[in-house]
Amino acid sequence: MRDPRRGALAACAALLVILPVSPPAWAHFLLNVNLRTIHVEALDDGFRVFIRLPMPLVVATPEHARNPEDPFVVMPYTQNRVVNGRVWAFVDAAKVQANPMGLGRLVAGGHSLVAGGQKLPGRIEAVRVHDARGILAEVPLFSTLPVAKTALRGPVYSSLAQDLPVGDALVDVAIFYPHAGPKESFLFSSSLAPELPGAELTENLLRFYRLDGTVSIYRARGALRTPMAGGASALAFAATFVVHGTQHILGGWDHLLFVLCLILGARALRGLVWQATGFTLGHSVTLVAGVLGYVPRFSWFVPAVETGIALSIIYVACVALSGRARSATLLATTLVGLLHGFGFSFLLSEILTLDSSYLALGLVSFNVGIELGQLGVVLLVWPALRCLDRRAARLSRSVRAGLAYGSIGVAALAVGTRSVALLHSV
């Protein structure tokens, strides 16, 4: 791994594999917010549902998928403008203010609540549109039922949201579903925007508030074609968080590259186990601390952590290239794990709050999922590299060097972009 020329050549091929591939964006808008939050409140006479979701999921139509560059194809509640030679969609404030219930009906029509084997009819009660652009956003919280109810009180369209790109708009809707039967369970699904690029990455968070006062939390990723089952058991809840903990680490390129570089630098399985143990100890501590709210609330903190995570990849990749695997000690990987734990907590804190019935179970299950994903990477990559070492030592050195250099290149790009975000947040 000490031949820089061979390693540099191999890095070119590795970059093609490592660099994340982004789906093509529609010219009309980008899906910049990928979280749909749903609160389902059981009442004596039915269910009241509060939904916050990205506006592109509401207004996107199949026609736009077929004609993304056509300026004459206008989505509901939007207007097209040509900016720097491209067509972009902006929220039409006048239409939203004139007929907000129509926008709410689009949301209700694109979701289904089934209880007692019947699809329940929904009645729109309130609608609001928020500006979610960057650090200037003043979007009310939507993480619990009380704050969700508060978020739907006020003007339909904020005065801050003029010239708002559709991709940066959030829609809040309150819907009442009358139901006289049992309310212990239900199915909730969506048929919105099946062709929208990025819809498959949407994180769906559902909280079910039962009549007895208990709260259950459910999570799923994707367009929500497969219904979420409210009222599931604690075991099903735990399984959901294990699955999504695994998905989170396997879908996070920065965490994956860090684990990959740990494997590249390990000369023996015992050393790799110690390094992975340190990483686990570190991220477990800050994952819990982040979810419980024991983190700085400054605007620079998130981009600082993300920049640190990218730098940690460069560190372990350089250790792997140097051949001094022992420098990646238990202490070093534990300290790096602290950074990555905060990164994990940024997502999980959007899902679990202190009032969650299964807070501890959710934390443990999500962490178990992360470890299973990490173990899966080790079990896949470590034997493959060891086999290559035995059968083609020269090729193995080139592959290892290429992967390490490629990781450094990807992480360096991330350091640059994240540092810019950090400077803008200070």
- In 3D space, the residue among 182, 195, 190, 191 whose CA is nearest the CA of residue 206 turns out to be 190
Give the separation between CA 266 and CA 212, rounded to whole angstroms. 53
Whether the per-residue pLDDT at 418 is higher than 80: the answer is: yes
At residue 69, the pLDDT reads 62
Q: What percent of the chain has pLDDT over 90?
A: 25
CA nearest neighbour of 252 among 343, 365, 139: 343
How distant, in Å, are the alpha carbons of 249, 284, 367 from that of 345? 12, 10, 10
pLDDT in tens, 173-186: 999 999 999 998 89
Predicted pLDDT of residue 30: 41
* Band (235; pLDDT cuts 50, 70, 90): confident
Mean pLDDT of 70-91: 79
How high is the pLDDT of residue 47? 97
Minimum mean pLDDT among 27-36, 87-96, 201-210: which range? 27-36
Residue with tokens 């020269």: 394
Q: What is the pTM of this model?
A: 0.60
pLDDT(425) > 80: no
Query: What percent of the chain clears pLDDT 70, i.e. is strictly above it?
Result: 81
Q: Is 138 helix (H, G, I), strand (E, B) or coil?
A: coil
How far apart CA 298 and CA 305 sit, in angstroms, is 12
Is the predicted pLDDT of residue 355 greater than 70, yes or no? no
Q: What Cα–Cα distance (Å) separates residue 231 from each residue in 46, 49, 108, 237, 338?
A: 15, 15, 21, 10, 35
**pLDDT surpassing 70 at residue 23:** no
Contact between 64 and 28 under an 8 Å Cβ cutoff? The reply is yes
**Residues sharing a CB contact under 8 Å with residue 397, sequence separation 6 or more, in sequence order:** 1, 3, 6
The CA distance from 204 to 184, in Å, is 21
Phi and psi angles of residue 31, each rounded to the nearest 5 degrees, phi first: -85, 90
Query: At 278, phi and psi to the nearest 5?
Result: -60, -40
Q: Is the pLDDT of residue 237 over 50?
A: yes
Cα(148)–Cα(173) distance, rounded to whole angstroms? 10
